[in-house]
Amino acid sequence: MNNSIHRIILNEYEAKQKSAYDRVQLKKDHVYKKIPRIEEIDREIQLTGIKYNKAILLGTEPTEKVIDELLVKLESLKKEKEQLLLEFSFPANYLEPEFECKSCKDTGFIETASGLEICSCYRQNYINLLFSQSNIKLLDEENFSHFNESLFPDKIDEKKYGIKISPRENILKIRERALSFIENLDNPEEKNLFFSGPTGVGKTFMINCIAAELLKRGKTVLYQTAPVLFKTINDYRLMTLKDNITDDTGYSNIFSVELLIIDDLGTESPTAARYAELLNILTTRQKNNLSAPCKTIISTNIGINKLHEYYDERVASRIIGGFDLFRFAGEDIRMLKKIAQN
């Protein structure tokens, strides 16, 4: 990993942990004044632990007996403490630290049977810093809680919208498919998603809804526009030629992140090299998906039936075969919102 980014993230985790324990200390000061016995219990818990740890180290008593007595004593003190908190209208876990990430307790690492592993929140923080131009910040506003199907016309007009159902029925079907995609992300047989349609009809909003929900579930998400994505690849290749590679995480994330979002496909430079790179991304991620979640969402203004005109047969076939294809339709939502505001 890039050492500077690594240090930034570790500093952030240290700050989060300090903040969590500072909040606990403030709570303790308040509770100790109100319930002095709890301060005594906390002191007893600490002294009991020291006493029995010393006994184990010195071997003055059989280890199993020491451990059993320790567990019984600590459990008794813990129950008394919880009961006192409840009697004074505090939650039983009131004095426990509250971490942003419950999995790693804001350390960035999870202890497993095979050793320490990087937490998904750490990987996502790294991605966010590495690709600071991503739209992750929009997710507070663009998520399923703000989904509004009434912005889509409830009338059928195939000539105008290019679909045989109303835009409203269409977007509801797309939302249903998006929710299914989220629930089945870990399933290797779950297909990727391809969103096409004109500007302003909800493609990016739906993508952000999916990203927001997956981030809540601890999945890693990388959002990139096609031009920036291919620039990242091009910069990596140039650095490789110059033998100046110190960190390839940014490049490798493209092929391994649990959800890769490629927005504005078709706005990148139309070269044979770009087509080969896109094919490599799609092929590699498809292979990786067999052993771990490695899904892709593509968004573009290019119509599904025009893929063959923009990309060679291999790329078009890979998309058509490995993605569920959806066409977004309706009025320009951005214009509708501006009109409503005015």
Q: What is the pLDDT of residues 242-297, one digit of tens each?
A: 766 555 667 888 998 899 999 999 888 878 788 888 999 999 999 999 998 999 99
Q: Is 118 a member of any domain?
A: no
Q: Looking at per-residue confidence, does 74 or 194 come out higher? A: 194
Q: Check whether residue 30 and residue 139 sit in a common domain.
A: no
Residues 67 and 141 reside in one and the same domain: no
Are 71 and 163 members of one domain? no
Same domain, 74 and 198: no
Q: Based on the domain organization, do 180 and 255 belong to the same domain? A: yes
Quick one: 29 and 71 in the same domain? yes
Q: For residues 289 and 283, what is the distance between their CA atoms, to the nearest angstrom?
A: 10
Specify if 120 maps to a domain.
no
| Percent of the chain with pLDDT strictly greater than 70 | 89
pLDDT tens digits, 289-327: 999 899 999 999 988 888 888 888 888 888 988 999 999
pLDDT on residue 35: 94
Looking at residue 34, its pLDDT comes to: 93
Chain centroid to Cα 186, Å, comes to 14
**pLDDT over 90 at 129, yes or no:** no
195 and 229 belong to one structural domain: yes
- Looking at the predicted structure, is the pLDDT value of residue 3 above 70? no
Asked if 233 and 254 count as a contact pair (C-beta separation under 8 A), the reply is yes
Q: Which of 55, 80, 111 is the last residue of a domain?
A: 111
pLDDT at 137 over 60: no
Judge contact between 95 and 20, C-beta under 8 A: no
Tell me which of 121-135, 160-174, 205-219, 318-332 is least confident.
121-135
Q: Is the pLDDT reported for residue 26 higher than 90?
A: yes
Q: Note whether 161 and 89 are same-domain residues.
A: no
Identity at 100, one-letter amino acid code: E
Cα distances (angstroms) measured from residue 78 to each of 200, 263, 314: 57, 52, 64
C-alpha 310/C-alpha 323 separation (Å) is 17
**pLDDT of amino acid 1:** 46
Q: Token digits for 35?
A: 């319930």
In a domain, 121, yes or no: no
| CATH code, domain with 159 | 3.40.50.300
**Is there a domain that residue 185 lies in?**
yes
Q: Is residue 125 part of a domain?
A: no
Q: Which helix (H) or strand (E) holds 192?
A: strand 192-196
Q: Give the residue-averaged pLDDT of 1-26.
A: 83
| Whether residues 230 and 259 fall in one domain | yes
Do 153 and 288 reside in the same domain of the chain?
yes
Q: Count of domains in the chain?
A: 2
142, part of any domain: yes
Predicted confidence (pLDDT) at residue 23 exceeds the cutoff of 90:
yes
Average pLDDT, integer, range 33-39: 93
Residue 25 — very low, low, confident or very high, per pLDDT cuts 50/70/90? Answer: very high
Candidate from 52-66, 106-120, 148-162, 224-238 with smallest mean pLDDT: 52-66
- What does the pLDDT average to over 226-255? 78
- Render pLDDT for 72-108 as a digit per residue (tens, 0 to 9): 888 899 999 999 999 999 999 999 999 988 889 999 9
Looking at residue 244, what is its pLDDT? 60
Q: What are the beta bridge partners of residue 326?
A: 195
pLDDT band for 133, please (50, 70, 90 cuts).
very low
Residue identified by tokens 């590679």 is 245
Per-residue pLDDT averaged across 138-157, rounded? 85
pLDDT digits (tens, 9 = 90+) for 150-175: 999 999 999 999 899 999 999 999 99
**Do 282 and 316 belong to one domain?**
yes
Is residue 61 located within the same domain as residue 149? Answer: no
In a domain, 123, yes or no: no
Q: Which of 228, 308, 300 is nearest to 264 (CA)?
A: 300
User: Do the domain assignments include residue 116?
Assistant: no
Domain membership of residue 89 as a residue range: 3-111
